[in-house]
Structures are given as C-alpha cells and as structure tokens.
Amino acid sequence: MKLSMPHIPKLFIPLAFVMAMSMGLVYVVVQQNFRANANDPQIQLVEDLVEQLSAGRTVESINTSAGVDMAQSLSLFLFIYDETGKMVVGTGKLDGQYPTLPDGVLERAKEVGENRITWEPQSGLRFALVIIPFSGDQSGFVAIGRSLREVEQRIDMLGLQVLVVWLIGLLGLFILMVGGKIIFSRYFSSKQIV
C-alpha cells in the first residue's frame, strides 16, 4: 500500500484512539489504586479496635479526647455507634458538630461485615471511611476515616500527567507518520529514477 497524505488521517485516527484508550486505562488503574490505598490505615485500626471491643474492651475506655477538625486536618477520626446506629463516642467534627452518616451505611456494614465508602458530608470535603460492626458485651459499629484531600491532589496530578503524555504521544505519532511518509516517498522516488 502506498502511503499518501490522504492516508495519514485514516491511520492516525485509529492509532490515536488506541493511544487514548491505553492512557485512559492507565489513569483508571492508577486512580483506583490510589483510592483503594487511602483505606489502608483505617482498615488496620478499625479491625484492631473491633477485635478489642469484641473481646470485652468497653467503648468508654477508648480515648476520644483528641478532637479532629475534619475540615482542616488530615488526621484519622473515629466514630463508634451502638447497635441502633446512635453515636456513642467520636473524635471527628465538622463546624463543631458530629456529622451524620448517610442512610444505610451502617446497615450495609452489618449485612456484609464491612463497608468502605467515600463520604462527602459537605461539598468539597471527601473522606475515606471504613465501618465494621462489632459484638460482644456491647454491640455496635466502629467507623474510622480520614480526609482524601492529599489523595485527590495526587489523582489530579495523575490526570494532568496522563494528558500530557497522551498529547506528546499524539504529536510524536503525527511526526513519525508525516516524516515516514516524506522519507519513504523520497526513497521510493529515487529508486524509480535509477
């Protein structure tokens, strides 16, 4: 097949699409990894605390004196609810109040044994929250969360990096195709003269 200038868009568009899909896949995989890893500290702490509460530790023995301003802090925060869903103790506050969990979150944790959610109690404030039920002398739910601010900044940077790499790749593909066309046409035209 002779590569002419009109053939370049016919080849460029499918190759650009493949590049776009590849870059999209990279973005989604890395973004999901960033988000899933945001749960790791909470998973370890909530599992340890549930084990202790199930073994007889009382909710009242948990130190909740260190309050966390959830709008400002990147620190982990804790909420413990009784079996009816009423908050017993907590460390995280927004505007001086304990925020309310979305409906169904505790019920889902009870149904499946754990619930990991992205929670947005106020616009622009998103948290990775892990909730696990416990039972023993007392029953209820432990919820531990932290801000996603840093993770989301990394995800935003990832999006920008993937976009830049994709655009550079498109430019490189276009240069290779046009340059290849010029080189091959000169090579073949010189061969035909001889």
pLDDT per residue over 87-141, tens digit each? 999 999 999 999 999 999 999 999 999 999 999 999 999 999 999 999 988 899 9
Same domain, 138 and 174: no
Same domain, 8 and 91: no
As a whole number of angstroms, the distance between CA 54 and CA 112 comes to: 17
pTM: 0.78
Same domain, 19 and 43: no
pLDDT at 187: 66
Supply the Cα-derived Rg of the chain in whole angstroms.
Answer: 27
Name the domain count of the chain: 2
CATH code at 142? 3.30.450.20
Same domain, 71 and 95: yes
Find the domain containing 159 and state its range.
1-38+149-185
pLDDT per residue over 60-70, tens digit each? 888 877 889 99
% residues pLDDT > 90 (the chain): 73
pLDDT at 12: 87
- H helix or E strand, kind and range, residue 60: none
Q: Is the pLDDT of residue 4 over 60?
A: no
The pairing of beta strand 115-122 with beta strand 140-147: unpaired
% residues pLDDT > 70 (the chain): 91
Least confident window among 18-27, 28-37, 141-150, 180-189: 180-189
pLDDT at 1: 47
Spatial contact of 98 and 13, defined as CB atoms under 8 Å apart: no
